[in-house]
Amino acid sequence: QKEVEQDPGPLSVPEGAIVSLNCTYSNSAFQYFMWYRQYSRKGPELLMYTYSSGNKEDGRFTAQVDKSSKYISLFIRDSQPSDSATYLCAMNSGGSNYKLTFGKGTLLTVNP
């Protein structure tokens, strides 16, 4: 079993839809959880960061962490064509100087 599982998609939705992206993990030592957005041929861009169970909201984005189920989610409200990208979940056990473990990434396309 891989440490982090993420459905690679692809996921295609109409503009304005609510998007739900998910990752599961097996390592209970993971304490810090991140979502990155990566446009084609670009470096990943940090979207959301959280270190506790619960919800964190930033504009149209909501990150949700359930440590008891080892499950994290990213919700995108009112999705826009500019949200079309690959979304990567990442996590580690000890903060910034510790290696990140990534999911495979989910390719999202928002159709106008």
Binding residues for another protein (CB under 8 A): 32, 34, 36, 41-46, 49, 51, 88, 95-97, 99-100, 102-105, 107
Pairing relationship of beta strands 106-111 and 11-14 according to DSSP bridges: parallel
Sign, CA dihedral 89-24-5-81, equals negative
As measured in angstroms, the least distance from the Cβ of 92 to another protein is: 9
Beta strands across the sheet bearing 71-76: 4-6, 19-25, 71-76, 61-66, 54-58
As measured in angstroms, the least distance from the Cβ of 36 to another protein is: 7
* Closer residue to another protein, CB minimum distance, 6 or 79: 6
As measured in angstroms, the least distance from the Cβ of 59 to another protein is: 15
As measured in angstroms, the least distance from the Cβ of 39 to another protein is: 10
| Integer Cα distance of 26 and 21 in angstroms | 18
* Closer residue to another protein, CB minimum distance, 17 or 56: 56
Supply 63's token pair. Answer: 């990150």
Q: Which residue has the tokens 């959301």?
A: 48
* Closer residue to another protein, CB minimum distance, 14 or 99: 99
* Closer residue to another protein, CB minimum distance, 43 or 112: 43
